[in-house]
Amino acid sequence: MSLLEVKNIDVRYGDFLALHDISLNVEEGSIVSLIGANGAGKSTIMNTICGLNKPVKGEILFDGKNISGLKPSRISKYGLSMAPEGSHCFERMTVKDNLLMGAYLAKGSERMERLKSVYKLFPVLEEKQNQMSTYLSGGQRQMLAIGRGIMTQPRILLCDEISLGLAPVVINDIYEKLKEISAQGITLLIVEQDVNRSLKNSDYAYVILEGRVVMEGKSKELNVEDVNDAYFGMNKYAH
Ligand SMILES: Nc1ncnc2c1ncn2[C@@H]1O[C@H](COP(=O)(O)OP(=O)(O)OP(=O)(O)O)[C@@H](O)[C@H]1O
Ligand SMILES: [Mg+2]
């Protein structure tokens, strides 16, 4: 069953049409990856799904309900959470408070339960719980962003550029954690710039080029060379 359906959306920044007729389908329980070069429109797609941008055309259905144009806070209450690009967190707050902020609507005991489960997934966040977030390493910040995302107990977690600037060993670790999160029943929509890594770690992938979907398919059935051509806008993918 489809949990998230993006149907033919256009998004503009002033005169610039950043997304052209984008359609995506995310099955419940799956891991879906968006691949594309810098400036392709990946973050714009993610931000539009979570309500930070408004589409000028098309609609976004979450569990069958039209969420396009709703405020981010409302969308988040439906069970959609985002770990943003650049792993933004509240720098002057401790790791623990950053995580607790993610579940500010939950009851005290429930928040503590969720905190425990995030610590189980990312033990390093428990070790650093009383430190200011500003002192975390890049990988730890990324873990904090994901941890804060799952504190809301979302049905779907959107992760933008989770591997940006991280060492391969840390990236592998983060993908392992995402698999654990997926095994807990949380659907994942992930932005990834590395084609091989994207195909290896997802069930379904979309290649975005200049604001359009130029290729899609089951990750294990997509051909890496074709995906690379699409990624760089070669041959028939150019427009
Ligand atoms: N707030 C904005 N105002 C104007 N143009 C914007 C804005 N945000 C993004 N853009 C433009 O929209 C296009 C898509 O940007 P977006 O950030 O979605 O790309 P991306 O695929 O996430 O790239 P990256 O891999 O570098 O993060 C780019 O041409 C960018 O310059
Ligand atoms: Mg981006």
With contact defined as beta carbons under 8 Å apart, do 36 and 73 qualify?
no
N- to C-terminal Cα distance for the chain?
33
C-alpha 41 to ligand 1 mean position (Å): 6
Residue/partner pairs of 62-67 with CB below 8 Å, 24 or more apart: 62/3, 62/4, 62/156, 63/3, 63/155
Residue of 80, 204, 198, 90 lying closest to 150 (CA atoms): 80
Q: How confident is the model at residue 87 (pLDDT cuts 50, 70, 90)?
A: low
Q: What residue's CA is closest to ligand 1, atom 9?
A: 44
**Domain boundaries along the sequence of the chain:** 2-79+154-237, 89-153
| Residue carrying structure tokens 């189980």 | 120
Q: Pick the residue with more confidence: 106 or 99?
A: 99
Q: Which of 10, 12, 13 to mutate to test the pocket of ligand 1 (most atoms within 8 A of CB)?
A: 13
120 vs 117: CA distance, rounded Å: 5
For the stretch 211-238, pLDDT in tens is: 999 999 999 999 999 999 999 888 666 6
How far, in whole angstroms, is CA 46 from its chain's centroid? 7
Q: What residue's CA is closest to ligand 1, atom 26?
A: 38
Q: Which of 12, 19, 43 to mutate to test the pocket of ligand 1 (most atoms within 8 A of CB)?
A: 43
Q: How confident is the model at residue 155 (pLDDT cuts 50, 70, 90)?
A: very high
Q: Identify the bridge partners of residue 187 per DSSP, sorted by sequence position.
A: 156
With contact defined as beta carbons under 8 Å apart, do 55 and 10 qualify?
yes
152 vs 170: CA distance, rounded Å: 24
111 vs 235: CA distance, rounded Å: 52
121 vs 68: CA distance, rounded Å: 32
Fold of 2-79+154-237: Rossmann fold (3.40.50)
Q: What residue's CA is closest to ligand 1, atom 12?
A: 18
Q: What is the mean pLDDT of residues 55-69?
A: 96
Q: Which ligand is nearest to the CA of 165?
A: 1
With contact defined as beta carbons under 8 Å apart, do 207 and 40 qualify?
no
